[in-house]
Chains A and B, each alone.
Chain A
Amino acid sequence: MNKRKITVAVTGLNNIDSPGPGIPVIRGLKESESLDVRIIGLSYETLEPGIYMHDLVDKVYQLPLPTAGSAVLKERLRYIVSQEKIDVLIPNFDAELHNFIKIQDELKVELNIATFLPSQTIFDERQKSELGKFGEKYGVKVPESHMINQVLEIRKLEETLDYPMVIKGRYYDAYIASTYEQASTYFYKVVAKWGYPVIVQEFVTGTEVNVTAIGDGEGTCIGAVPMRKLYITDKGKAWSGISLEDDELMEISRRVIENSKWRGGCELEFIKTKDDEYYLLEMNPRFPAWVYLANGCGQNHPEALVKMALGEEVQPFTDYQSGKMFIRYSYDQIVDISEFQQISTMGER
């Protein structure tokens, strides 16, 4: 079968111990049976390992940091498409998504770059700070959450929330606090890294189970694969995990994707309690770093996303294999200084 040649730009090349989803997404695309994909890597830091993975990433361009804003990002992308055509762009960082969502229509019209992102409204609805409303609207249990801007507000929350409570950053990081002192320390730690507001969440006891999923934006869940972490790093990232067979979890996940009309990839993080109840802790608005497991289970989510971005109709996956495991490993690449120099000085390699 002749594979169709296309070019896909991907961010999240930081394949480190707390990895971004870029490299797993690329691996999925490279294994597509119908697409022959040339990969443009988009990086923020010069030491992102994916920059130097020549077998997976064909060409790399640096992007301005998300704080530079969407106009600067668009200008940079305008330069990149003057060098070569990009058919589809898959952003993989929480912090950059806002900019990409904002200019998604302009990217399509002006630069002919297709994306497959949710609208700003739906993106905002699932923000950690809005989780309570999100749960109510889309029929899924969520832990009690509060947004705070002052450390003293924790004292007030003690009236309704028992310790331990979870202190979370608006994008990343979560700490379990057992006392007010711990909670206030974590509050400042989170503020220093992620700014305001800080989210204070009820601590729900149980087993963490995660789902990588993809929606078509019209109310259909195209695919979903559930996973339990088997080994967790000190940063709380999965180093190993296994796909599960859990009908109820799948039903809840599909409901969330379908009711919210989610468009694109996402990760749903749940706690399964002793009483077999599922609480949605977070909905991450992009593929997780373990999305390649879905591919191993028979659902190539990155490929499905690219096809939908290109306007093709994709049939929902109906099956996946449980009992498939992923086991990460670290690997030292040897890179000549000239290559590092090139990306550092020219912003591309």
Chain B
Amino acid sequence: MKIRKNIAISENGFIFNPMTGDSFSVNETGAFILQKLKDDESEETILQNLMDEYDLDTYTAERDLNDFLSMLKGHQLTTNE
């Protein structure tokens, strides 16, 4: 899963989807994941980074990451290319 090319993400976690006109704010963890997606990191790498950064167990990190990714998909912010 990748972030759509034209999605604008600011450093403070503000996201703008120019296709739909929707805008969102995410917290620090959300911004962390988005940055990794933008850097073309794989989901496995992001999961590991999340566990390391926030000292999480695999189950919690995987659940939270999947929740967040499906939310991004629901808002048409991602692409599978």
Contact = CB atoms under 8 A, between A and B. Distances in A.
Interface in B1-51: 6, 8, 16, 18-21
A236 interface: no
A130 interface: no
A323 interface: yes
Interface in A84-124: none
A323 B20 contact: no
**Which applies to chain A's interface (DSSP): helix, strand, loop or mixed?**
strand
**Which applies to chain B's interface (DSSP): helix, strand, loop or mixed?**
loop
Interface in A209-258: 227-228, 230, 241-246
A244 B16 contact: no
Interface residues of B, number: 7
**In the complex, which of the residues B6, B16, B21 has the most CB atoms of chain A within 10 Å of its own CB atom?**
B21
A207 interface: yes
A228 B20 contact: yes
B8 A244 contact: no
Contacts of A230: 21
A81 B20 CA distance: 46
A242 B20 CA distance: 9
B8 A323 contact: yes
Contact of A228 (B6, B8, B21): B21
A322 interface: yes
Contact of A246 (B8, B16, B19): B19
Contacts of B16: 323
Nearest to A242: B21
Contacts of A323: 8, 16, 18
Contacts of B18: 244-246, 322-323
A243 B8 CA distance: 14
Nearest to B76: A276
**In the complex, which of the residues B6, B16, B20 has the most CB atoms of chain A within 10 Å of its own CB atom?**
B20
A228 B20 CA distance: 7
A323 B16 CA distance: 8
Contacts of B19: 244-246
22 contacts: A207-B20, A227-B21, A228-B20, A228-B21, A230-B21, A241-B21, A242-B21, A243-B21, A244-B18, A244-B19, A244-B20, A244-B21, A245-B6, A245-B18, A245-B19, A246-B18, A246-B19, A322-B6, A322-B18, A323-B8, A323-B16, A323-B18
Interface of B: 6, 8, 16, 18-21
Interface of A: 207, 227-228, 230, 241-246, 322-323
Given A246-B18, A322-B6, A322-B18, 15 more contacts: A207-B20, A227-B21, A228-B20, A230-B21, A241-B21, A242-B21, A244-B19, A244-B20, A245-B6, A245-B18, A245-B19, A246-B19, A323-B8, A323-B16, A323-B18
CB-based closest 3 A-B pairs: A245-B18, A228-B21, A322-B18
